[in-house]
Structure formats: structure tokens, C-alpha cells
Structure 1
Amino acid sequence: MSQKLITIDLDGTTLNNQNKVSQKTVAVIKAAGAAGHIVSIVTGRPYRISAAIYDQLQLKTPLANFNGALTHIPHQHWSGEYKRTINKAIVLDMLENQQKLQLKMIAAEGKHTYLANHLPPADLNFFPATLREDQLLSKSSLVHNPTSLILFVAPHQEQVVRNTVLHHYGQQVDVGVWGGPNSVLEIVSKGIQKAKAVAYIAKQYHIDRRNIIAFGDEHNDAEMLEYAGRGVAMQNATPTIKSIANDVTEFDNDHDGLAKYLESYLQLAK
């Protein structure tokens, strides 16, 4: 079998419903690597909450964070590393207009930086539960252009804030809505999407598009699944993602759907 690039989403795909990686998943991904395939995590998560999973899977391949705004190889200097950032002036402007926009929290992130003007609600566990003084978002602390900007907005204000942001900065940024119970918007540099990171990684390894297998479950995986030669939706994926995928896993993320599919497709079982 020719060398494959296997790109995997984390939440709802590689991780089970307890946000853990099963031993079966670790074993299958290790076997895929040993068989000569490239496995890359392509996630909306920042590096700070994907590094431990990357290490648990014992990967040495590129990792794409922030839906592809940052692509790097952890723990080493990689000449292919790239990031697309947001002009910090946009962040400072939002900070100034936070009351007008009804923003409850603004968080600016980079590969190793996290700055916020407020602690998140207790149930938003994607963010640090404490803030050090040097993590307080301000004009003086925001030294570099961030890679991602998170806005926690007043309930049901997502579309209003999204439209306002696009009206003022639409030439420079894209705005994504997290969905789920919380009103959260994510802002990234214009044109950022997972498919671009996948294409970039494939180019680094000279892997043809038809030899890319991508796994996902949510709306931010759509372009990646469409781009890949074989887009695979999880059994627990949204109907939209299932409709654009080439295939659907037999089992969901809580029953090793990704691992079982890969094991069978790559004929890894001993």
C-alpha cells in the first residue's frame, strides 16, 4: 500500500467522550506510523491543550493547531513551521469596545502564549481556570500578533457580534461560531481552514491528495474531508459531515471508531 497521510481531528474523533485517548487508538496510530504512514493531528485546539495528546500518541509529525493557523513539529525546530496571525490592533480595538459588543471575555493566543482580560465561565474548561498577572490581556502585555482570538459573548449575541467584526475587519479575518451551549466566537486570519494545513503537510512529505485520509465529526472538518482523497466521518458526526464524507466509521468516538477503521483500512491487524 502506498504511503498515506492520515489527518485526525481530536474532539469527537480521536478522543472519546471523556476527552481521553484509548489504548487501542494509541496502538493503532503507532502501528500506522511503523507501517510507514504519516499521522498528523489537525485540530481547532490551541497547542497548550493538544501537546499532551500529541505526546501520548508518540508522534513526531507536524501538528496543526487553531484549525490550521499554526502548523509545527513540537519539541523541535522545523524549517517548515508556519503561522498566520491577526493584527494586534484588532484585538486592542475589541478590548476598547468590549462593553458595546457585550463581550464577557477576550482571549488572545499564540503557540506559547495565552492572554485574557477575564476568567472564563467555570464550564468552559478549554481555558486556564486561573490567570497569572502576566497573562492579563492589555495594551502592554499584547506584544505579538496572536494566532487566534476567542470572544465569549452575551447569550444569543453571536450573530450580532460576528456581523460587526466582519463589517469592520472582514478583509483581514474569518469568524467561526463554536456552537454548543456557550456563546463563543473564534477569530483567525482570513482564509484559515483545516484543508490548507492538510495540503501543506502533504506537500512537505510529497504525498498526493488521493493518498490523504482525513477523519472528522464537526463543521470545522468539512473542507478537510472534502479535500482529502478519502474523507471519513465518524459515526457520531453531524449529518452535514456524513453527507460530504466518502465513508463513515462503523463505530463512534466512544467505541474506537477511528482506530478500528484505520486498522481495517490499512490492514494493520496482525
Structure 2
Amino acid sequence: MPQKLITIDLDGTTLNNQNQVSPKTIQVIKKASAAGHIVSIVTGRPYRISENIYDQLQLKTPMVNFNGALTHIPHQHWAGEYKRTINKAIVFDMMANRKKLQLEMIAAEGKHTYLADHLPPSSLDFFPTTLNQNQHLSRNSLKRNPTSMILFVAPHQEQVVRNIVMHNYGTQVDIGVWGGPNSVLEVVSKGIQKAKAVAYIAHQYHIDRQNIIAFGDEHNDAEMLDYVGRGVAMQNATPIIKGIANDVTEFDNDHDGLARYLENYLYLAN
């Protein structure tokens, strides 16, 4: 079997419903790596809450964060590392108009930085629950252009805020909407998507497009699953994602769907 690039989303895909990697998944990913395949995490998560999963899987390959805005190899210097940022002036503009836009929290993130003007609501568990003095977002603390800006908005203001940001900065940025009960907008550099990052990694390792297999479950996986040679939707994926994919796992993310599929597809059972 030719060398494969295997790109895996985290939430709802590699992780179970307790946001954990099962022993079975760790075992299969290690087998795939040992067989010479390249396994890369491709996630919307920032690095700060995906590094531990990367280490659990014992990967040494590139990882993609912020849906493609950051591609790097953790714990080492990699000449191929790249990031796409947004102008920090956009963050300052949101801060200046915070009350008018009814923004409940503004956060700016980079590979190793997290700055926020407030603590998040307790329901948003992707964010630190305490803020150190050096994590408070201000004009002085935000010295570099961030990779991502998160806006936690009042539910009735979500479309208003999107429209204002795109009207003022639409040539520079794109806005994604987080799933779930909260109104969370994420602002990244224009044109960011997982598929571009996957193509970049494949180029680095000289792997043809038809030898890329990708797993995902949500709207931010759509371009990636459409781009690769074999796009696999999780059993728990949205109907749209299942419609884009070449195949669907027999089991969902809470029953080792990704691991079982890979085990069969790559003949790793022995």
C-alpha cells in the first residue's frame, strides 16, 4: 500500500463524547504511524488545547490549528511552519465598540498566546477559567497580529456583528460560527480553510492527492473532505458532511469509529 496522509479532525471525530482519545484510537494511530503513514491532526482548536492530544497519539508530524491558519510541528523547529494572521487593529476596533456591539468577550490568540478582555461564561470550556495578569487583552498586551480573534456575542447580535465585521474588513478576514448553544464568532485571515493546509502538508511529504484520507464531522471539515482522495464522514457527522464524503464510518466517535475504519482500511488488525 502506498504511503497515506491521514488527516484527522478532533472534536466529534478523533475524540469521544468526553473529549478524550480512547485507548483503541491511540493504538491504531500508533500502528498507522509505524506502518509509515503520515497522521496529522487538522483542527479548529488552538494549539493550547490540542498539544496534549498530539502527545497522547505520540505524533511527530505537522499539526494544523485554527482551521488552517497555523501549520507547525510541535516541540521542534520546522522550516515548513507557516501562520496567517489578522491585523491587530481589527481587534482594537472591536474593543472600542464592545458595548455598542454587545460583545460579552473578546479574545485574541496565537500559537503560544492567549489574551482576553473577560473570563468566558462557564459553558465555554474551550477557554481558560482564570486570567493571569499577562493574559488580559489590551492595546499594550497585544503586541503582535493574532492568528485568531474570538467574539462571544449576545445571541440576537450575532448577525449584526458578522455584518459589521465583514462590511469593514471583509477583504481581509473570514468569519466562522462555532456550533453549539453559544453565539461564538471566530475571525481569521481571508481564505483560511482546512483543505489548503492539508494540500500544503501533502506537498511537503510528496504525497499525491488520491493518497490522502481525511476524517471529519462538521461544516469546517467540508472543503477538506471534498479535496482529498478519500473523505470519510463520521457516523455522527452532519447530513451535509455525509453528502460530501466518499464514505461514512460504521461507528460514531463515541464507539471508536475512526480507529475501526482505519484499522480495516489500512489492514492494521494484526
Give the C-alpha shift of residue 155 in structure 1: 1.6
Q: Report the equivalent of 2:198.
A: 198
Q: Report the equivalent of 1:178.
A: 178
Give the C-alpha shift of residue 158 in structure 1: 1.4
* AA at the equivalent of 2:209: R
Distance 2:103 2:159 in 1: 13
Q: Report the equivalent of 1:59.
A: 59
Q: Report the equivalent of 1:214.
A: 214
Q: Report the equivalent of 1:160.
A: 160
Q: Report the equivalent of 2:78.
A: 78
Q: Report the equivalent of 1:142.
A: 142
Give the C-alpha shift of residue 156 in structure 1: 2.7
* AA at the equivalent of 2:42: V
Distance 1:143 1:60 in 2: 30
Q: How many residues align?
A: 270
SS of residue in 2 equivalent to 1:196:
helix
Q: Report the equivalent of 1:237.
A: 237
* AA at the equivalent of 1:118: H
* AA at the equivalent of 1:40: S
Give the C-alpha shift of residue 101 in structure 1: 1.1
Deviation by residue 1:155-185 (Cα, 9 ceiling, x = unmatched): 2321111111000000000001112100000
Distance 1:251 1:68 in 2: 27
1:107–1:116 CA contact under 8 A, matched in 2: yes
Query: Structure 2 length as normaliser, TM-score?
Result: 0.99
Q: Report the equivalent of 2:127.
A: 127
Distance 1:209 1:166 in 2: 33
1:158–1:177 CA contact under 8 A, matched in 2: no
1:211–1:229 CA contact under 8 A, matched in 2: yes
Distance 2:26 2:235 in 1: 20
2:109 aligned with 1:109, yes or no? Answer: yes
* AA at the equivalent of 1:62: P
Deviation by residue 1:174-219 (Cα, 9 ceiling, x = unmatched): 0011121000000000000000100000000000000000000000
2:48 aligned with 1:48, yes or no? Answer: yes
* AA at the equivalent of 2:98: Q
Query: Structure 1 length as normaliser, TM-score?
Result: 0.99
* AA at the equivalent of 1:181: P
Distance 2:132 2:268 in 1: 46
* AA at the equivalent of 2:154: A
Give the C-alpha shift of residue 69 in structure 1: 0.2
* AA at the equivalent of 2:111: K
Distance 1:228 1:156 in 2: 37
Please, which runs of 5 or more residues in structure 2 have no aligned partner? none
Query: Any runs of at least 4 consecutive aligned residues in structure 1 with deviations exceeding 2 A, and if so which?
Result: none
* Identical columns (%): 82
Deviation by residue 1:123-152 (Cα, 9 ceiling, x = unmatched): 101000000111110000000000000000
Q: Report the equivalent of 2:16.
A: 16
Q: Report the equivalent of 1:88.
A: 88
SS of residue in 2 equivalent to 1:157:
helix
SS of residue in 1 equivalent to 2:71:
strand
* AA at the equivalent of 1:218: E
Distance 2:18 2:217 in 1: 16
Tell me the C-alpha RMSD between the 2 structures: 0.5
* AA at the equivalent of 2:222: A
* AA at the equivalent of 2:60: K
Distance 2:38 2:181 in 1: 35
